[in-house]
């Protein structure tokens, strides 16, 4: 399998963590290494990441990729055994992917600034509003768990955690204060020590830029 992504793409980081947790071998392909127009041909959506599973099949969208990986390589599962907890984990992750990440990505920020004429203060207000609402909901979700656990929904990392950690890193890069979310921070501390998360980090990817200046302008 080929995972086409780039170093600073939190959706791609989710997939890398999932593949690492399952011990699935894959080839990381920086989108910058492809010929002009090739990625759009492979994935008409044009968004990252995409998983080339062979046989002419290219799966776009991290949610679809994660579902494919879970269904095709069920052991170890990324989801809790209990059906109710499985649903909660999926809901937790969906809130990140659909309600937070989708509203704060670079193309949305650029549209606000370049097409709608929003100033930097207005774009910052947009980010703070949606990130604050999102993280507050996630923190309250963990606080309401019937059985607290070191990871979001159990004693090992999975579906919810691999969505959470890249989003927290993304929020820090955008200057959002995470100190009001102690339960989320506690989960993060458990995850960041694990190899599956460390090797999925942006700085561990072969296309990570050598100069810090590039990191601030890249899409996430």
Residue 219 has pLDDT above 70, yes or no: no
Q: Given this model, what pLDDT does residue 217 score?
A: 31
Does 189 lie in the same domain as 114? yes
Mean pLDDT of the chain: 93
Does 167 lie in the same domain as 205? no
Q: Given this model, what pLDDT does residue 213 score?
A: 43
Q: What is the largest CA-CA distance in the chain?
A: 51
**Parallel/antiparallel/unpaired status of strands 57-60 and 27-30:** unpaired
Does 187 lie in the same domain as 93? yes
Query: Which of helix, strand or coil describes residue 3?
Result: strand
Does 130 lie in the same domain as 180? yes
Say how far apart CA 63 and CA 15 lie, in whole Å: 9
Does 99 lie in the same domain as 54? no
Domain containing 208 — which CATH number?
Answer: 3.40.30.10
The tokens of 103 are what? 């509203």
Say how far apart CA 8 and CA 209 lie, in whole Å: 10
**Is residue 13 a contact partner of residue 59, using CB atoms and an 8 Å limit?**
no
When pLDDT is averaged across residues 149-176 and rounded to a whole number, the result is 96
Angle of helix 10-22 versus helix 62-72 axis, rounded to 10: 10
Closest C-alpha to 138, from 110, 157, 174, 165: 165
| Domain span holding position 134 | 83-193
Does 164 lie in the same domain as 105? yes
The tokens of 117 are what? 């004429």
Say how far apart CA 202 and CA 11 lie, in whole Å: 11
Does 184 lie in the same domain as 93? yes
When pLDDT is averaged across residues 190-215 and rounded to a whole number, the result is 87
Does 95 lie in the same domain as 44? no
Q: Please write the tens of the pLDDT for every residue from 24-37.
A: 999 999 999 999 99
Q: Please write the tens of the pLDDT for every residue from 75-129.
A: 999 999 999 999 999 999 999 999 999 888 888 998 999 999 999 999 899 999 9
**C-alpha neighbours within 13 Å on the C-beta side of residue 203:** 5
Does 129 lie in the same domain as 65? no
Does 55 lie in the same domain as 105? no
The percentage of the chain sitting over the pLDDT mark of 70, rounded to a whole number, equals 95
All residues at 6 or more sequence positions from 106 whose CB lies less than 8 Å from its CB, including other chains? 218, 219, 220
Q: Give me the number of domains the chain comprises.
A: 2
CA distances to 112, 133, 177 from 120, in Å = 9, 20, 18
Does 204 lie in the same domain as 172? no
Q: Given this model, what pLDDT does residue 177 score?
A: 96
Does 58 lie in the same domain as 28? yes
Domain containing 179 — which CATH number?
Answer: 1.20.1050.10
Say how far apart CA 105 and CA 3 lie, in whole Å: 20
């Amino acid at each position: 399998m080929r995972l086409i992504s780039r170093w600073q793409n939190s959706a791609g980081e989710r997939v890398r963590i999932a593949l690492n947790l399952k011990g699935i071998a894959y080839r990381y392909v920086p989108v910058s290494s492809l010929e002009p127009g090739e990625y759009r041909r492979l994935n008409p959506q044009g968004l990252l990441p995409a998983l080339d599973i062979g046989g002419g099949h290219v799966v776009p969208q991290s949610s679809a990729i994660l579902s494919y990986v879970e269904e095709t390589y069920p052991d170890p599962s990324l989801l809790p055994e209990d059906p109710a907890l499985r649903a909660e984990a999926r809901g937790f992750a969906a809130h990140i992917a659909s309600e937070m990440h989708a509203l704060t990505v670079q193309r949305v920020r650029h549209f606000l600034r370049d097409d709608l004429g929003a100033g930097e203060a207005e774009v910052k207000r947009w980010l703070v509003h949606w990130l604050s609402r999102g993280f507050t909901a996630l923190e309250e979700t963990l606080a309401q768990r019937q059985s607290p656990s070191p990871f979001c929904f159990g004693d090992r990392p999975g579906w919810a955690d691999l969505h959470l950690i890249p989003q927290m890193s993304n929020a820090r890069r955008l200057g959002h204060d995470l100190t009001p979310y102690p339960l989320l921070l506690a989960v993060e501390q458990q995850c960041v020590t694990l190899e599956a998360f460390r090797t999925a980090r942006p700085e561990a990817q072969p296309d990570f830029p050598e100069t810090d200046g590039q990191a601030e302008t890249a899409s996430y």
